[in-house]
Each structure stands twice: as structure tokens, then as C-alpha cells.
């Protein structure tokens, strides 16, 4: 079967629209994905920097607390009982250390809080050795203590009034137990699987949400390698377990640690699917609109040629043309063809016009139209027949169209037409004027009876569920024809004023027109 011009144009435009939509969604996908990744990296970078600063401030505060107490401890260094009491008070007030100790210059433990069972013992572990050797305030690297715990030592030296070195005051943080680092870092602000971890300058984890991993060496981790190189920044990384993360990391100069905030890669790009779906959802109405526009324009382009071709085919076969539709000739080719056969088609076109003149039915509701109403009222006035008019308007119909669309609006018009048809009697005629305006022509009916019918219709409509799955109301104007005193136009004008009054007085009511 030979395809029509309309088919090929529609096919071509459809391919073009699908291609444009696909390219738009694809580019939107990659741009949005990149933005999500960059946004997640930046958030984690800033968050790691914030936590690094907070951690540094806390440790500086811890050192300051020890330095403030150093002179008091130096004065009490020979009184073990006072030392223990002072340490206990300091531990209670600071709440940053897991334990406090006073170590002599020989490395012997003089006092602890709480009691650790090491008083009188000489310490031979890395932290105390470093403090005795350097004789300055410092934060040690993680090491195994005499108690078997993995800890960090924060210490400050003790000097007497003669500037003689007495030992040092130290606070410890137990890395594998509840400690100040947990308090600062444990709960990530995001609840999407993001977490924070801390690595020292040897590549050892000194904090991780999983306590079992604390003390683990992770030098192979790319972010850890950046931190070991004293770098700060953000990047995508695959951890030692093969999981992908978007990580921000900050190197702390004072402690030589690195704070890392990371978010699972899948979590970061998870909104992507929803965003692309929304893009498609937002684009779809425009696509449908332009597709509909394409169909209309295609129809306009192809319709003249198609109609002329079909008409010519009938002429060729010597068939009598029963109906001739007006052929628009808004472009050159169609115009030239149309002019060639215009004279012959003239009579056929006249038949179409005559047919239109005889068409009295509203295509949407199936009711009669204004032309038919004029014909009826002309006949009734000629026959001097008494009749009344009910003019009807749907209240807030624009809201129906705006909220539910014109398709539902059309269904509401059909719903009202059906309700009106139910109350028709013998010669009564129901007419759609246009839009949401209707007229009931009531034969052999005075205004009192018309008011009863109008009220019954109003009540029926307002109490019936319409296609919006809600209720609508109507306003009605009622008037009886005054024979020999007014024209039909004057009657309509009078009833229309009553309808307007019904709407201005609150709608959903029937108003009798004033004579």
C-alpha cells in the first residue's frame, strides 16, 4: 500500500522529536550525574575540613587543660594522695580523656585516674618514651600501652620552680573504647550510609565506625596515600573491600592525622533516576503538544493535496461527487491545483454549505444548537404559542477546566446535558448556546411552572456526582415570552440578566427575570 504524504511527514518529524528527546535526556543524565558527584565530593570535602578543625581545636583544648594543671601537679609531685585527687578532679571536669597519669622523669607511674594498676611501674612503651625524650607538649602516635589498650597520649612536661624537669602529665584516649574522637566523629550529619574515618601519618586507622577496624593499616587506600602526602581534597575512591565512595579528606598539620568523610557512590547518584524521570515527565507534555502540533500542521500540509487527489480520482472514474469539502490553498502547489478544478467543484461546495445550514446538532453534547433554537422560537411565535425560557450556566466551569483539563470539562458538559434531557417533556427543546451556557425552551409553559422545573433541575444537578467525582452547581435565569411585547432577542436579554443576577447573588440559585 502506497503511504500518504501525511504519513511520511509525521514519521520524519516523529523520528526527529524522539531523537531530540533522547539526546536531551542523555545529556541531562550525564550532566546531572556529574553535578551530583561533584556536589557530594564538595560536601564531604567541606565536612572533613570542618571536622578536622573541630578535632584540632579539641586537642588544643586538651593540651591547654593539661598545661594549666602542670604547675599544680609539679607542686604536688611528692604527694601521691594529692596527685590522685587532682587527677580525679581534672578527669571529671574535662571529660575529654579516658584516663590521666603523672609520670616521673625516670618513666615511673606516680599516680593515675582512674586506678589502672600501674602505679609504681616503669613504662617502656612508645608514647611515654617520646614524651620523656622530647620534654614538650605533644600528641603521640597510636601505640599499645602497658594495659594492652591501643591509645593516644596527650602530654605536657612538668617543671619545678628551678626549671628542673620532673616528668610529665598525660591524658590518654583509648581508641577502641568510647572516647572524645568518637563523640566528635561517630555520627555523620547525613543518614545515607556516609561515615567518617581518621588515619594517622603511618597509615593506621585511629577512628572508624567499625571498632574492629581501628588499628588496621590502610596504606594501600588512595585517600590514605594522599593524606600521607600531606594533601587535602576530594576524589572518588574504591576502598579495600571493593566498594566505591566519594570522599573528602583534610590533613591536620598539628597531629599529622587525616580526617576523611565519604559517601557511598551509589547513594550519591541514587537521585539520578528520579531526576531523569522528572525531566521526562516535565518534557512529555511539551513533546505531546509539539507532536499534536505536528499532526495538525501535517494535516494542513497534506490535506489539500489529499483532497484534490481523491477528488481528481473520482473525476477520472466519472463518479459523481456527493460532497465537496472546502480545500484550503495556503501554499502555492495546492493553490494552483485547486484553481484548476475550482469551477467544476463549485456546485459540490454549495451542496456542502447547504448541508451545514441544515445541521442543527451540537457535536459534543448531542443537544440542539442555537440555529435550531431560533427555528423553534420563530415557529412558536408565529403560531402564537405560549412558552418559557430557562437560561443555564455552570458555576465556576473555568475551575473545572483548569483543575481537570478540557477532556473532563467536556464530560461535565455531557453530564449536564443528560440531566437536562431527563426533564424534557413533549415539545420542550434543550439547546447548547456555546461553552457552558444552555437554554431550555419549554413549550406551553408559564413562568411559575418554569420556575418549578428550573429548581428541580438545579437540585438534581447539585446533588449528583459529576465526572470530576465531585459536585457542581448551576445558576438559572427564568422568563416567559410576552407575546407582542418583546422580541426573542429581548426575551433572551431579559433572562440573561436574571442569570447574571443569580451568579452575582452567590450562584447555585434560580432567579425569575423582571418584566
**In the chain, domain spans:** 1-269, 300-357, 370-512
* Across 52-69, average pLDDT: 84
Distance (Å, rounded) from C-alpha 514 to C-alpha 491? 10
> Confidence class of residue 332 from pLDDT cuts 50, 70 and 90?
low
Q: Find out whether the peptide bond into 114 is cis, omega within 30 degrees of 0.
A: yes
Q: How high is the pLDDT of residue 462?
A: 94
Q: What is the pLDDT of residue 272?
A: 80
Report the C-alpha dihedral over residues 342, 347, 351, 352, rounded to 10 degrees: 0
Cell representation of residue 255: 597531629
Counting residues of the chain whose pLDDT is more than 90, the rounded percentage is 30
CATH number of 1-269: 3.30.450.20
Length of the chain: 515
Domain 370-512 carries which CATH code?
3.30.70.270
Q: Report yes or no: 450 and 511 within 8 Å, Cβ to Cβ.
A: no
Closest Cα to residue 152, out of 123, 120, 125, 132?
A: 125
Active site residue 339: no
d(CA 246, CA 190): 13
Task: Check whether 322 has a pLDDT greater than 50.
Answer: no
List 76, 320, 436, 486, catalytic entry? 436
Stretch 305-320: mean pLDDT = 64
Q: Which of 43-52, 70-79, 202-211, 327-336 has the lowest mean pLDDT?
A: 327-336
What rounded mean pLDDT belongs to the chain? Answer: 84
Q: What is the pLDDT of residue 330?
A: 62
Check pLDDT > 80 for residue 337.
Answer: no
How does pLDDT run across 23-38, given as a tens digit for each residue?
888 888 888 888 888 8
283-300 confidence digits (pLDDT tens)? 888 878 888 888 887 777
Whole-number pLDDT of residue 320? 46
Return the HEC string of 247-284: EEEEEECCCCEEEEEEEEHHHHHCHHHHHHHHHHHHHH
pTM for the structure as a whole: 0.49
Q: Output the nine-digit C-alpha cell for 66.
A: 593539661
Tens-place pLDDT, residues 137-184: 888 888 888 777 888 889 999 998 889 999 999 998 888 777 777 777
Give the residue, 111 or 25, on which the prediction is more confident: 111
Amino acid at each position: 500500500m502506497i503511504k500518504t504524504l501525511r504519513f511520511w511527514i509525521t514519521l520524519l518529524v516523529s523520528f526527529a522529536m524522539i531523537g531530540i528527546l533522547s539526546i536531551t535526556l542523555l545529556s541531562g543524565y550525564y550532566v546531572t550525574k556529574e553535578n551530583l558527584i561533584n556536589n557530594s565530593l564538595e560536601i564531604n570535602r567541606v565536612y572533613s575540613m570542618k571536622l578536622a578543625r573541630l578535632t584540632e581545636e579539641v586537642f588544643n583544648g586538651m593540651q591547654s587543660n593539661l598545661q594549666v594543671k602542670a604547675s599544680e601537679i609539679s607542686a604536688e609531685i611528692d604527694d601521691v594522695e594529692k596527685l590522685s585527687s587532682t587527677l580525679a578532679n581534672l578527669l571529671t571536669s574535662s571529660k575529654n580523656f579516658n584516663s590521666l597519669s603523672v609520670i616521673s622523669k625516670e618513666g615511673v607511674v606516680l599516680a593515675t585516674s582512674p586506678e589502672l594498676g600501674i602505679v609504681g611501674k616503669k613504662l617502656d612503651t612508645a608514647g611515654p618514651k617520646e614524651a620523656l625524650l622530647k620534654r614538650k607538649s605533644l600528641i603521640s602516635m597510636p601505640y599499645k600501652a602497658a594495659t594492652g589498650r591501643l591509645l593516644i597520649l596527650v602530654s605536657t612536661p612538668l617543671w619545678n620552680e628551678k626549671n628542673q624537669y620532673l616528668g610529665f602529665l598525660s591524658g590518654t584516649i583509648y581508641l577502641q573504647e568510647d572516647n572524645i574522637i568518637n563523640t566528635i566523629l561517630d555520627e555523620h550529619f547525613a543518614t545515607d550510609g556516609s561515615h567518617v574515618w581518621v588515619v594517622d601519618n603511618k597509615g593506621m586507622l585511629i577512628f572508624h565506625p567499625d571498632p574492629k577496624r581501628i588499628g588496621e593499616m590502610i596504606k594501600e587506600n588512595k585517600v590514605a596515600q594522599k593524606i600521607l602526602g600531606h594533601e587535602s581534597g576530594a576524589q572518588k575512591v574504591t576502598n579495600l573491600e571493593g566498594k566505591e565512595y566519594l570522599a573528602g579528606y583534610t590533613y591536620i598539620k598539628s597531629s599529622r592525622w587525616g580526617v576523611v568523610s565519604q559517601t557511598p557512590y551509589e547513594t550519591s547518584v541514587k537521585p539520578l533516576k528520579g531526576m531523569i524521570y522528572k525531566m521526562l515527565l516535565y518534557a512529555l507534555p511539551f513533546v505531546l503538544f509539539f507532536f499534536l502540533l505536528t499532526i495538525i500542521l501535517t494535516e494542513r500540509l497534506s490535506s489539500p493535496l489529499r483532497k484534490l487527489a481523491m477528488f481528481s480520482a473520482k473525476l477520472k472514474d466519472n463518479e459523481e461527487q456527493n460532497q465537496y469539502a472546502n480545500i484550503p490553498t495556503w501554499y502555492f502547489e495546492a493553490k494552483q491545483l485547486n484553481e484548476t478544478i475550482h469551477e467544476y467543484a463549485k456546485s459540490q461546495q454549495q451542496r456542502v454549505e447547504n448541508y451545514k445550514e441544515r445541521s442543527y446538532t451540537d457535536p459534543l453534547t448531542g443537544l440542539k444548537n442555537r440555529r435550531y433554537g431560533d427555528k423553534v422560537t420563530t415557529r412558536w411565535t408565529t403560531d402564537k404559542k405560549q412558552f418559557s425560557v430557562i437560561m443555564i450556566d455552570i458555576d465556576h466551569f473555568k475551575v473545572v477546566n483548569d483543575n481537570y483539563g478540557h477532556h473532563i470539562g467536556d464530560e461535565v458538559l455531557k453530564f449536564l446535558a443528560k440531566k437536562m434531557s431527563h426533564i424534557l417533556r413533549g415539545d420542550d427543546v434543550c439547546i447548547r448556546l456555546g461553552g457552558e451556557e444552555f437554554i431550555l425552551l419549554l413549550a406551553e409553559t408559564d413562568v411559575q411552572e418554569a420556575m418549578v422545573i428550573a429548581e428541580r433541575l438545579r437540585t438534581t444537578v447539585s446533588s449528583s456526582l459529576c465526572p470530576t467525582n465531585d459536585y457542581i452547581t448551576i445558576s438559572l435565569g427564568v422568563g416567559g415570552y410576552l407575546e407582542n411585547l418583546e422580541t426573542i432577542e429581548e426575551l433572551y436579554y431579559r433572562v440573561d440578566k436574571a442569570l447574571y443576577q443569580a451568579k452575582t447573588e452567590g450562584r447555585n440559585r434560580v432567579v425569575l427575570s423582571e418584566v
